[in-house]
Amino acid sequence: MHIPETEVGPVEDFAEHFDRIRSLARDGDNAGAIEEADRIAAAATDPLVICRALVLKLGRLFNLGRTQQCPAVLDWAFEVLSDRRAPALRGHLHALAGIIAAADSLERCVRHLVQAERELDSERGPTEDIVVARHDLAVTYSYLGFHAQAAPLAERCYRAGQALGLPSGDHALPEVAVRWAVSLDHLGDAEGCADMLRWVLETWGERTDPRRLWPAEQYYYGYAAMRLRALGEPAEVNPVLFSVEEQGWEVADLRMLAGACESIAAGDPTGALRRLDRPTHPYTLGTAEPHRVRALAHAAAGDHRSAREADREATRAATSDTGRLRDRLVDGTRTQLDHEALRRTVEQYASEALTDPLTGLPNRRHFDRYVARLAEDGVDAAIGVIDLDGFKTVNTVYGHLSGDLVLQRVAAILARTLRQGDFVARYGGDEFVAVLPRTELPDAHRIGARIASAVADGDWDALVAGTPVSVTIGWADLTDPLGLPGTLESADRAMLSRKRLAGSPRG
């Protein structure tokens, strides 16, 4: 993740600190850059300064693989930026949020990426902040395997940087084309891979001194040459490119893979196999790359049977990545369709004063009016208080943005599970209320069981991996609409009693 030279807002008092962050990052000291960003965020009072520091911190945390710390930082950054119009910063935040969310939920990732593009496109003219944000957006697309989207965006960033007079190595992204190239080889197109790797070496060798690239990009550029040589193609390798110190998983993976390719080219396939002693991060060059390099080593050793088996593993890994991506896209589309269906069902609630803006459900005021109409019509009903179990854990582990998405999906499930003519509203926080007109309590309990089952069966791993989402429901008779507070209290007591019996936490 990249760092701009310019600052947003009145940062005169912190200019030296931002310069130091850039210098530390340039030298590969991500941990030192994080400490400096923390000092700025703690001392600054301007929201734009704080947010800039947090953006820089997020990129460094990701580079070090400390992604578990990112949701809280994202929540803080979005909060301090909430009432400011800063498209470059907001777009950059969404670009970073996208890659951080990708490991757990492609749906959340794509939402962030689309929002990032919208924010950045709303800014007139190229600025360095826009270039840097699009730079990280291109890297995110590349990590996810959306190579056809990443490549033109990376080229656009470079050309915009050049138009602004920025150093030629600062916005170069050879990694995007290298990642695309090896993905071709994983699926059997070694010739296409070699052509693209040669393009990387020729293009970036002409545009800049590769030693002026950022540390990780130096490794990717060097790997293009090493990988060509492992394929039996001639290529010059500058060992200086692999001497830059950089902390994090990406460079560690590239060192291992480049070392194995170097051994193959030097006629030492056994040494290459010894080097390939662990899997790599899927974002580096895909999960298939170690298998493919292992196949090249076996082939160089004359062990063609083992080479074929390693190639089969590479193909399996590559297609498995595609399959997982497809499944996650389907999950995301299903959720989106659910939410669109929910929006259509509440179009009748024209007044925003009666609709919860997050979920699209009727709000508490609308609920009160609905029950009042039941009273006027003399209709009895069953009232259900629906509470999410352990919702605080979702917010703590994944952040409030993910919590909002969980609330939206639960709302969609409630709307499609209840019967036609039933009513459901968001009462507040993580609590919903359902009204079942002309329904006895035994029937209400059966409907409640259906709701609980539908929520439990949701594919929550697509949103909050490893954190199950469930609801507990308490029911009470609304025989006297004028006694609504008492009915709600009875339903709430019934809900809490069921939670105690099940051992479920509230909220």
Confidence at residue 9, expressed as pLDDT on a 0 to 100 scale: 42
**Residue 345: pLDDT over 90:** no
Average pLDDT of the chain, as a whole number: 86
Alpha-carbon distance values, 28 to 24, 52, 214, 346, 350 (Å):
6, 20, 9, 52, 54
The percentage of residues in the chain with a pLDDT greater than 90, rounded to a whole number, is 45
Strand partners, 474: 385
- CB burial readout 413-449, b (16+ within 10 A) else e: bbbebbeeebbbbbbeebbbbbbbbebeeeebeebbe
| pLDDT tens column, 46-89 | 888 999 899 889 888 888 888 889 889 999 999 988 878 888 89
DSSP 208-245: S-GGGS-HHHHHHHHHHHHHHHHTT------GGGG---
What's the mean pLDDT in 33-47? 89
Confidence at residue 468, expressed as pLDDT on a 0 to 100 scale: 81
| pLDDT tens column, 93-136 | 999 988 888 777 777 788 888 888 888 888 777 888 889 889 98
Residue 451's pLDDT band (cuts 50, 70, 90): very high
**Residue 193: pLDDT over 90:** yes
- Token pair recorded at residue 221: 């550029």
Place of tokens 């179990």: 389
Confidence at residue 334, expressed as pLDDT on a 0 to 100 scale: 57
Residue 155's pLDDT band (cuts 50, 70, 90): very high
Domains of the chain with CATH codes: 1-171 (1.25.40.10), 199-345 (no CATH), 349-502 (3.30.70.270)
What's the mean pLDDT in 336-354? 59
Alpha-carbon distance values, 42 to 14, 47, 416 (Å):
12, 11, 46
Least confident stretch, 8-12, 125-129, 131-135, 483-487: 8-12
Residue 504's pLDDT band (cuts 50, 70, 90): low
Residue 475's pLDDT band (cuts 50, 70, 90): very high
| pLDDT tens column, 205-245 | 999 999 999 889 999 999 999 999 999 999 998 888 888 77
CB-facing half-sphere around the CA of 11: CA atoms within 13 A: 20
- pTM of the full structure: 0.65
**Residue 347: pLDDT over 50:** yes
Alpha-carbon dihedral angle through residues 371, 374, 378, 380, given to the nearest 10 degrees: -70
| pLDDT tens column, 371-393 | 988 888 888 899 999 999 988 88
Distance CA 255, CA 264 (A): 14
**Residue 291: pLDDT over 50:** yes
Confidence at residue 14, expressed as pLDDT on a 0 to 100 scale: 76
Confidence at residue 348, expressed as pLDDT on a 0 to 100 scale: 52
Helix (H) or strand (E) holding 372: helix 364-377
Q: Name the strands in the sheet holding 470-478, side by side, starting at the edge strand that comes first in the sequence.
A: 423-428, 431-437, 381-389, 470-478
Least confident stretch, 167-181, 287-301, 404-418, 482-496: 482-496
**Residue 5: pLDDT over 50:** no
Distance CA 28, CA 245 (A): 6
Strand partners, 381: 437, 478
Strand partners, 467: none
Confidence at residue 6, expressed as pLDDT on a 0 to 100 scale: 40
Confidence at residue 7, expressed as pLDDT on a 0 to 100 scale: 37
Helix (H, G, I), strand (E, B) or coil at 381: strand
